[in-house]
Amino acid sequence: MKIRYALALAALLPILAACKADDGSTNTTAAPAEPAATPAATTEPTAAPAAGSEGAAPAAAEGEKAPAEAAPAAAPAPTTAALTGPAPVEGADYQVIPNGQPFQPAAGKIEVTEIFGYVCPACAAFQPLVGPWKAGLPSDVNFVYVPAMFGGTWDDYARAFYAAQTLGVQEKTHEALYAAIHSQKTLKGERGRDSVEDIAKFYAAYGVDPKQFAATMGSFAVNAKTNSAKQFAQRSQISGTPSIIVNGKYLVKGKSFPDMLRIADHLIARERGAAQAH
């Protein structure tokens, strides 16, 4: 697997996060529909015989029990992908992250994070695979993009990611920004350094006021989120991008991009089984 290596994280000074990042990336897989409720049987009411008339219906025997109500149907389990290939082996296919925790813990959810960089060619090549895979994840999996903070233009685009998220355009611009940098080359990426105004101009095409976007990139809230993202990458001991992390515990290795996703499927299933065992 060809992984884009950037500045080593060991060279980055730790930065204390002002607050926990509030990432808006959500699982796009719709939850399974609730089973339709069974309609109650209806009967026409029977008129009670007049008092004293012959053929009056006898009263129900004392102690006779009413029929038990049917138990409600259980909620459907998340639809899971069929696992392929051998079970992953620690050290060869993934490494355990010491004291690993999800980036954004959510009750009842298994978190998968991709640490990525818009300026990274390997991440751009990975997106056509990870995008559809993300869309097909089960309803109990929460996929979160975490931008890498490797300095310079990487940091500029990490701030752009969180500014776009804050202004509600991150999802619809994610792939388009990769294309602008790597295919259309209307933005420089690592071939130079795009100014904040250059980046804001890209987002203006999606209905965002460029001045508001530039101001949001430099806001306290966005700085807090990028600091949190940087700390998460450091704790996860990544050496390059793209990196896939399952539930904050496992850093996926793999021999190719498809192999990374195959291993991630196995680790998701492992985490699901562990949760169900408790």
Locate 115 and state its tokens.
């640490």
SS3 113: strand
Give the amino acid at 37: A
For the chain, how many helices (H) and strands (E)? 7, 5
Q: What are the CA-CA distances from residue 90 to residues 44, 232, 236, 264 (Å)?
A: 66, 21, 15, 13
Q: CA angle, 133 as apex, 131 and 135 as ends, to 5°?
A: 70
- How high is the pLDDT of residue 80? 67
Distance of CA 80 to the CA centre of its chain: 15
The number of angstroms, rounded, from the C-alpha of 276 to the middle of its chain's C-alpha atoms is 20
Beta bridge partners of 90: 94
In angstroms, what is the C-alpha Rg of the chain? 27
Both tokens assigned to 249: 């515990």
Q: Which CATH number fits domain 94-267: 3.40.630.30, 3.40.30.10, 3.30.70.660, 1.10.10.10?
A: 3.40.30.10
**Among 263, 29, 257, 30, which residue's Cα sits nearest to residue 136?**
29
pLDDT at 34: 36
pLDDT in tens, the chain (278 residues): 445 444 333 333 333 232 233 333 333 333 333 333 333 333 344 444 444 444 444 444 444 444 455 555 544 556 666 899 999 999 999 999 999 999 999 999 999 999 999 999 999 999 999 999 999 999 999 999 999 999 999 999 999 999 999 999 999 999 999 999 999 999 999 999 999 999 999 999 999 999 999 999 999 999 999 999 999 999 999 999 999 999 999 999 999 999 999 999 999 999 999 988 87
